[in-house]
Amino acid sequence: MVKFESLDPEIRGVLGKKVSELGLRVEGSPVEGYIRQLYEELERRGFKNFRPVCYLTDEWGCPDQQPVLGIPFYLADSKLRKIEKAADTLETDRQVMMYMRHEAGHVFNYAYRLYTTPEWRRLFGPFFRPYRDDYRPVPFSRSFVRHIEGWYAQKHPDEDFAETFAVWLTPRSAWRRRYKGWPAMQKLRYVERVARALADVEPIVKTGDVDITPDDIKVTVEQFYEAAGEERQARIDIALDAHLPQIFLTRKRKEAVPAGDIVTKHRPELVEKITYWTGVPRPVVRALIDSICRTCQRMKLWGERGEEARYLVEVTVLATTLAMNFLTRGRFET
pLDDT tens-digit series, residues 167-211: 999 999 999 999 999 999 999 999 999 999 999 999 999 999 999
What is the pLDDT at residue 171? 97
pLDDT tens-digit series, residues 119-133: 999 999 999 999 877
Cβ neighbours for 4, distance < 8 A, ≥ 6 positions apart: 12, 15, 86, 222
Q: Are 191 and 165 in contact (CB under 8 A)?
A: yes
DSSP string over 140-177: T-TTS---SSSSGGGS-HHHHHHHHHHHHHSTT--HHH
CA distance 6 to 10: 12
Mean pLDDT of the chain: 91
Measure the CA dihedral 265/269/272/276, to 10°: -140
CA distance 165 to 115: 13
pLDDT tens-digit series, residues 146-177: 999 878 999 999 999 999 999 999 999 999 99
Of 183, 111, 192, 202, nearest to 145 by C-alpha is 183
| Model confidence, pTM | 0.85
DSSP H/E element including 257: strand 256-258
- Hey, where are the domains in the chain? 4-214, 234-329
Average pLDDT value for residue range 36-55: 98
CB atoms within 10 A of CB 182: 16
